[in-house]
Structure 1
C-alpha cells in the first residue's frame, strides 16, 4: 500500500522526504540519533513539546543506563535541535510561557516537537537498527486466522453489521501487510544465509534442519488452505462487494479523509487481499508465488547442504584454499615474489583482450589506442567461448493443421462476401444507394484495376471512349465483374458508409463479365459485317 502511494510523488516531494534522513549522514549521526531517542522518550510520557533542557536531562538518564550515549558539548544541543528542525524532522515553536526572566523572554525560549513525517523517518531508522535475522519466519498459523476472518466478514456483510465489516477488513489488511513483510524479510535473510555460509558453514549446518522443517511445514499449510481461501474470497464477494466497501468506509473513523477517499482506500485494500488468495483467469496468486519461491529456496538450501557436505568430506573448500594461499604469500621472501604469487593465483597478469572491428572503420585512426577509441558491442558467445555466434541449425517447420484450416475457412468466407458484394453492385448499381464496407472494398478494387489497365473501350459509333478494368473472381475461374469508367462532364459521386467518393469527369458503370463479353462479341460481329459490306460495294 505505502509503496504504491509513494509512486505518485514527484521528484520535488521525494527530495523533501529524503531530507528527513539527513541526520544519518552527518559526521556525528550517533549524537543526533540519541537526541531523537530522548525526544521520543519524552513523547511516550505524553510530553509532546520539549525544550533543550528537558532533552538534556533525558539524555543524562539514558547515559546512566547506556554507555553508548555520547557526551554533548555545553552549547551544542540547541544547535543540533535547530538542524533537525531545518531538515523537517521536528518542528520548532517559540513558547514565551517558559521564560522565567526578562532575558529569557527576550530570547524567546524554543520548544521542539516531532513532525509526522519526521517521526516516521526516525522509526524507520530504528526499525533498521533493531532488525535481527533471528526474528524472521514464515507464519504458517496465519492461514487459519485469515480463513476465519473471511468467513466472519461474509456473515457480517450478509447480516448488515457495518462495524464488524470494518473490524474484519482492518484485521485482514493488517494480516496481509504483516504476511508480505514476513515473507520478504525471510527470503532476503535466506539469500544472505545462502551467500555467506561459505565463510561460516558451522552456523548453516547447525540450523539447516530447523530451516528445512520450517519451510516444509509452511508449504504444507499453504497447499492445504489455498483452495479454501480462494472459495472464501469469492463467497465474500457474492454477498455484495460494493455494499461491503461502502459499510467499511462509513464505519471508518479517519476524520481527515473524505468518504470517497475512504471508499477508494478500502477498495484498494480489498483488491490487495484478493490478489493474495483469489485466482482469476489462470494467473497465479500472491500466495502461489510465495509458495513457488519457497520451493525454490528449499532446493537452494538442499543444494548448498550437499556442497558443504562434499567439501567437508574432502577437507578442501574455498576457505581452506584462501588460508593456504595467504600463508604462502606471507612466507614469500620479498614483495616481488608475493605479487608474482598473487598474480599467478588470480590470473591478473595475462591480458585477455577481445578485439572486434568497428562498424565505421574511418571514424577512428589506426594509430589511436584502444583505451581512447570507443567500445563496441561483443556477443556473449564470443566473449565466453571465443566463437562467433551462429544462427544454429534451422528448426523444423511446424505444421499446424488447425491454423491452416481456420485460414482456409476465413478465405472462403471473404471470397463469398466479395462475390455477394460484386453481384449486388451489378444488380443495383453504385449510385442509387449507400455502399457498406464490403461493397466499397470491392468497388475500390475494381476502380483500381480499371485505372491500372487503361484499356480503351470502343463502344458504338459516336460514343466516347472509356477506361476499362477487369477483376477476376476470387475462385480463379473466368467469371467476374467488369467496371467501366465512362467520361462524363458532370462526374459522379458514390455514397459509402465511410463518406462520399467523388469521381470528377467519370461515371461508374458495372456489368457482369459474361454479359460484357457477349456484348463485345456482338459489337465485333457487327463491325465485321460492315467491313465486308463496304468491301463488296467497292468492288
Structure 2
C-alpha cells in the first residue's frame, strides 16, 4: 500500500503531474528521465510557456517517489558535462513495474465515468464468429491462429462480464436510492428497458449457437488446443507447464459461460453463466418497472420524500418550545425506545430470543444499565436458530422436480409428438421448450426462420409447415399455424474426454 502514498500526500497534484510526464514519455518509448526532462514533458502537457513545476521543484518529488517504490533510480554518468556534475551523482528515474501499475490504477479511478454502464450485446455475434474460427484453426493445426483467436475470445468475454457487472451495480444503485428524480428517470426509462430487453433476447438466441460452437471445438481436441496456445504464448518468464495450466483454466472459464457442467446425478441440471446473466437481466427489468411504478405513484399523489421532509421541517419550526421539538424528534425517528427491550435472557434454551416480549417474563437488568445505559459486561452471543429439516425437505423437493422433469423430457423425445397424447409432465416440458424457442423467434427478410430451444437434455426444433398442426396434450389441444414441432435428444458429448453437457443448450 506504500505505492499509493502519492495519491493521499499533501502534494498529490504535483506528484500526479510528475507521474503523468513519465507516462507520456513511456508512450513515446522514452524510459529514463532526468528532472530537467520531466520539467520539459510537464511543459508540453500543460501547453504553457511557464510550467507549473521547475526542475528544482521536481528533484525532491522524484526522490520521494523513489522512496515509496513508485520510481526506480539509477546513475547516468554520460549526462555529466563537467567534473562537478559527475561528482554530484547525476540521477535518472524510470517507472518501477509495481509503481506503473499503481499509477494506472489511480488514473483509472480518476478518469472513470460511473454513468458509462451498458450491456455489450454486440459482442455475442463476434464471440460466435471467433469460436467457429477457433474450431477451424484447431482442426487445421494453425497454432498461431489458435493463440490469437483464443486471446481475443478471452478478452471479449472478460469485457462482457465486466460491463455486465458494472451495469447491474449502477442499476442497483439507481433502484435502491431514495433520491429519485422523476424527470431524469422518466426521460431514460424507455431506452433502459429496450436495452435490457434486446440484450436478453440476443443472449437467448445466441446461447445455443455458442454452446454448439464450443462443442465443435471440443470435438477437435481440447488438449491440442491448449498445447498450441501455450506453445505460442510469449510470456517467456512462465514455464510451459504454467502456460498450459493458465490456458486450460481460461478455456474452462469460457466454456462454463455457455455450457453447463455434467450433473453428478441423472436428472440434475446446472445453470450456466449465460443463464444467470439472463435471469439477472429479467430481474433488473422487473426492478426498473417497480421503480417506474413508485415514481408514477409519487408524481400522481404529490407525496414524496422531499415533500414529507419539508412538512416535517415546518412542524419543527412551529414547535412552541425546545422540549416540544425534542419530543417531536423522538416520536418521528423512534429514539425513545426503552433500553430494556433490547436485552436477552442469559439462557436462550429457557427463554429463546424469538419469543415475543408480550409472553416472556420480566428480565432483570443491572443498575448500571438502568442509570447510564451502558452494559456492565459483554454477554454471550445469541444462539443461531436453524431449521435444517426444512432446508433438507426443500432441497429434496427441488431434486425430485428436476428428476421428474428430466424423465418427462426423455419420454417426450422417445416418440413422435403427433402420434400420441402427452401426459402432464410431458406437456409442461413441451411448454417450457416452446417458451425458450419463442424468445429467439425473430423475423428474417420478411419470413420467420426456424428456431430451437433446449431444456433438460432435449432440443425442440420449430420449423415451417404448409398447414396447421395439432398436438394432443393433457391440458387440451395445442394448435400451431404453419409450424411443426420436433423434439429430439440433445447431441451427446464425450464427458470423459471433454466434460461436455449432453444437450449443449441453454434455456
With the length of structure 2 as denominator, give the TM-score of the two structures. 0.66
Is 1:176 the counterpart of 2:180? The answer is no
Q: 1:246 to 1:339 in 2, by over 3 A?
A: same
Partner of 2:114: 133
Deviation, 1:158, is: 1.0
Is 1:262 the counterpart of 2:243? The answer is yes
Partner of 1:304: 291
Q: Is the 8 A contact 2:42 2:53 kept in 1?
A: no
Task: Write the mapping of 1:27-46 to structure 2, written as runs, cut at 5 A.
Answer: 27-46=10-29
Partner of 1:225: 206
Deviation, 1:94, is: 1.4
326, 330, 354: which one aligns with 2:342? 354
Task: Write the mapping of 1:409-448 to structure 2, written as runs, cut at 5 A.
Answer: none
Deviation, 1:318, is: 1.1
Partner of 1:166: 147
Q: Answer with 333-342 or 31-40: which moved more.
A: 333-342
Distance in 1 between residues matched to 2:315 and 2:83, nearest whole Å = 76
Q: Looking at CA atoms only, which structure, 1 or 2, has the larger radius of gyration?
A: 1
251, 262, 273: which one aligns with 2:232? 251
270, 290, 295: which one aligns with 2:277? 290
Unaligned runs of 5+ in 1: 1-17, 382-388, 404-539
Distance in 2 between residues matched to 1:211 and 1:392, nearest whole Å = 43
Higher relative contact order (CA 8 A, sep 6+): 2
15, 23, 32: which one aligns with 2:6? 23
Partner of 1:109: 90
Partner of 1:113, secondary structure, is strand
Deviation, 1:57, is: 2.7
Q: 1:83 to 1:139 in 2, by over 3 A?
A: same
Q: Is the 8 A contact 1:278 1:285 kept in 2?
A: yes
Distance in 1 between residues matched to 2:302 and 2:277, nearest whole Å = 37
What is the Cα-based RMSD across aligned positions, in Å? Answer: 3.4
Partner of 2:405: none
Partner of 2:94, secondary structure, is strand
Q: Is the 8 A contact 1:215 1:294 kept in 2?
A: yes
Q: 1:374 to 1:197 in 2, by over 3 A?
A: closer
Distance in 2 between residues matched to 1:55 and 1:98, nearest whole Å = 15
Q: 1:321 to 1:375 in 2, by over 3 A?
A: farther
Partner of 1:134, secondary structure, is coil
- Kindly provide the CA deviation profile for residues 48-77 of structure 1, in whole angstroms up to 9, marking residues without a partner as x: 11111222233233334799x9x5587442
With the length of structure 1 as denominator, give the TM-score of the two structures. 0.62
292, 309, 329: which one aligns with 2:316? 329
Task: Write the mapping of 1:72-91 to structure 2, written as runs, cut at 5 A.
Answer: 72=53, 75-91=56-72
